[in-house]
Amino acid sequence: VFIERGCELNERIKIHPRVWSKDFLDNADTLSGSDFIFNDANIDVEDCKKLYDLAANEFIFTTHDYFNKTGGFEKGYKAIQSMLHVLKSKGATYELYLPEEDWYFTGYNGINGCVALLKCKKKI
């Protein structure tokens, strides 16, 4: 995503400075109220609980690597399943958008480009 400098949305977007590691979840106060979360890491239910608690009442959770180069499931599948578990346990509502199996991308060294998305709304 390209955001032009000076764009009013640019002032609203916050990026945690340690996004290269899921360790940032231990001290992620700057994520509080986030309405868009993009994941490209191996995360589990406990991580998703932390993300859920930090997120805004309505938020988008999207994750990379849903399928691998042969069409099998990858880390993004686990992330979606983990977040679904949290959403269901909290009574949240959601819309799930999954890539088609034939969407997987055999790009650089077989790393794929499939993204799955959850549109989430917390139970208030």
* Residue of 77, 51, 52 whose CA lies nearest to 63: 77
Split at pLDDT 50, 70, 90, the class of 112 is: low
Percent of the chain whose pLDDT exceeds 70: 65
Element counts in the chain: helices (H) and strands (E) = 3, 4
Q: What are the b/e assignments for 51-78, b being 16+ CB within 10 Å? A: bbebbeeebbbbbbbbbbeeeeebbbbb
Answer whether residue 102 shows pLDDT above 70: no
Contact at 8 Å (CB) between 34 and 54?
yes
pLDDT tens digits, residue range 58-78?
Answer: 999 999 888 877 778 889 999
Q: What gap in Å lies between CA 4 and CA 38, rounded to an integer?
A: 20
Prediction pTM value? 0.77
DSSP 119: E
Confidence grade of residue 2 (pLDDT, cut at 50, 70, 90):
very low
